[in-house]
Amino acid sequence: MISHTSTSVVTIERFIIEQERLHPEASGDLSSIMYDLALAAKMITNKVRSAGLVDILGSANAENVQGEMQQKLDVFANETIVKAMDHTGRLCAMASEEEEGIIPIPPGFRTGKYALLFDPLDGSSNIDVNVPVGTIFSVVPKITRGRDGVLEDLLQPGRRQVAAGYVIYGSSTMLVYTTGQGAHGFTLDPSIGEFLLSHPDIRIPDTGRYLSINDSYQQLWDERVRTLMQRYRGLEGDRAPMNVRYVGSLVADFHRNLLGGGIFAYPSNPKSPSGKLRLLYEANPLAFIVEQAGGLASDGSQRILDVQPSELHQRTPLYIGSRTDVELAEKVLADA
Ligand code: FDP
């Protein structure tokens, strides 16, 4: 791990190069994937920042010069990432929360030894009310032979990820990523258009301050989930009461808890027997990051990163955050 002084300005590019130098055997492909994703994040930032103006500008100029209608932001984000990544020769296939099947690399472009899975704009129902949204991504190695990636390449347990990260479009845009050597955060300086290292080697506190859960599903929870929530609130057991904070935008809730300590919980319930969140696009990448920061992620009975996926859009219950709080979830949920 290279240490940087508080006065050195470290761009994401320099950071990635320095990390790569620690691994002389690396081909540089993974680093290039990270640059390309950072570029896509800057393009999406621009669009998200002007989201509130769409109606004003849109009414005067509902169609752009090519005659295309104004695109929805999540569609824009999806296309931006696909187009930033499909021609680079570093990926064999992609999968997106926005698209039903595999996104192949178009004929005519070289393919590479990694596959990318992403949620282009998570929490997008919050855009209209100016709540932070995010992009989440996961990179896994190609494990099959042949030019193109196939389902098997994408359906790998999260522990096989070689990189993962998220971008939060908040009061500032931040990109947090890991390649397995700690979790590092970069803040976009809009004046120079660069992501600068602002949060090196993030560590999540062992015990959290914040509890993030959608309480409106209380009537649907089973007895064990109810007991768990009572424990987090300090109403049963000896845990100090947590502060409830729920934005309803996963990246925003996760990011706050990562920095301040806490747990985000989205249990299963009879209406959503497997919870709501997607294993491959949401749970796995955030689980990789939280573990690199010293936290844990569980589906209630097993480590998220050990779950063998069977389909692209598979959902999972999720308990993610500070170590002791996730351990408490596993303990209480295991009690008969
Ligand atoms: P959204 O539906 O706005 O896209 O996974 C999607 C997600 O948001 C997460 O970002 C968020 O944590 C969760 O759903 C919120 O779900 P509830 O409204 O059921 O709490």
Of all atoms in ligand 1, which is nearest to the CA of residue 249? 10
Ligand 1 mutation target, pool 121, 122, 268, most atoms within 8 A of CB: 122
Which residue has its alpha carbon closest to ligand 1 atom 15? 248
Of all atoms in ligand 1, which is nearest to the CA of residue 277? 5
Q: Which residues contact 179 (CB under 8 A, 6 or more apart)?
A: 19, 30, 34, 162, 163
CA distance linking residue 95 with residue 272, whole number of Å: 23
pLDDT at 20: 85
Comparing C-alpha atoms, which of 119, 98, 155 is closest to residue 282?
119
Comparing C-alpha atoms, which of 179, 309, 205, 316 is closest to residue 263?
205
Under 8 Å between Cβ of 97 and 281: yes
Which residue has its alpha carbon closest to ligand 1 atom 19? 214
DSSP letter for each residue of 109-172: S---SEEEEEEEEETGGGGGGT--EEEEEEEEE--S-SSS--HHHHS--GGG-SEEEEEEESSS
Which residue has its alpha carbon closest to ligand 1 atom 2? 123
Q: Which residues of 26-40 are buried (b: 16+ CB within 10 A; e: fewer)?
A: eeebbbbbbbbbbbb
Of all atoms in ligand 1, which is nearest to the CA of residue 133? 10
Distance of CA 145 to the CA centre of its chain: 28
Ligand 1 mean position, distance from CA 129 (Å)? 14
CA distance linking residue 113 with residue 29, whole number of Å: 9
| Chain segment 260-314, per-residue pLDDT in tens | 999 999 999 998 999 999 999 999 999 999 999 999 999 999 999 999 999 999 9
Ligand 1 mutation target, pool 131, 276, 314, most atoms within 8 A of CB: 276
Please, which residues bridge with residue 298 across strands?
A: 303, 319
Q: What is the torsional sign of CA 21, 23, 25, 27?
A: negative
Report the predicted TM-score, pTM, of the whole model to 2 decimal places. 0.93
pLDDT at 1: 55
Query: How are beta strands 296-298 and 277-278 bridged, if at all?
Result: unpaired
Which residue has its alpha carbon closest to ligand 1 atom 13? 248
CA distance linking residue 221 with residue 227, whole number of Å: 10
Residues framing ligand 1 (Cβ under 6 A): 122-126, 214, 248-250, 276-277, 282
Under 8 Å between Cβ of 81 and 104: no
Distance of CA 24 to the CA centre of its chain: 28
Amino acid at 268: S
Ligand 1 mean position, distance from CA 78 (Å)? 18
Of all atoms in ligand 1, which is nearest to the CA of residue 134? 10
Ligand 1 mutation target, pool 167, 214, 250, most atoms within 8 A of CB: 250
Which residue has its alpha carbon closest to ligand 1 atom 17? 248
Comparing C-alpha atoms, which of 276, 297, 272 is closest to residue 285?
297
Comparing C-alpha atoms, which of 30, 28, 25 is closest to residue 180?
30
- Specify burial of residue 275 (Cβ count, 10 A radius: 0-12, 13-18, 19+): buried
DSSP letter for each residue of 24-91: TT--SHHHHHHHHHHHHHHHHHHHHHTGGGHHHHHHH-SB-TT-PBPPPHHHHHHHHHHHHHTTSSSE
How would you write the pLDDT of the chain (336 residues) with one tens digit per residue? 556 655 579 999 999 988 888 887 888 899 999 999 999 999 999 999 887 776 554 434 444 433 444 458 889 999 999 999 999 999 999 999 999 999 999 999 999 999 999 999 998 878 878 899 999 999 999 999 999 999 999 999 999 999 999 999 999 999 999 999 999 999 999 999 999 999 999 999 999 999 999 999 999 999 999 999 999 999 999 999 999 999 999 999 999 999 999 999 999 999 899 999 999 999 999 999 999 999 999 999 999 999 999 999 999 999 999 999 999 999 999 986
| Chain segment 207-236, per-residue pLDDT in tens | 999 999 999 999 999 999 999 999 999 999
Which helix (H) or strand (E) segment holds residue 330: the answer is helix 323-334
Ligand 1 mean position, distance from CA 265 (Å)? 12
Which helix (H) or strand (E) segment holds residue 329: the answer is helix 323-334
Ligand 1 mean position, distance from CA 255 (Å)? 15
Ligand 1 mean position, distance from CA 249 (Å)? 6
Of all atoms in ligand 1, which is nearest to the CA of residue 214? 20
pLDDT at 25: 80
Of all atoms in ligand 1, which is nearest to the CA of residue 264? 12
Q: Which residues contact 316 (CB under 8 A, 6 or more apart)?
A: 274, 275, 277, 278, 279, 283, 299, 304, 307
Ligand 1 mean position, distance from CA 13 (Å)? 32
Ligand 1 mean position, distance from CA 156 (Å)? 24
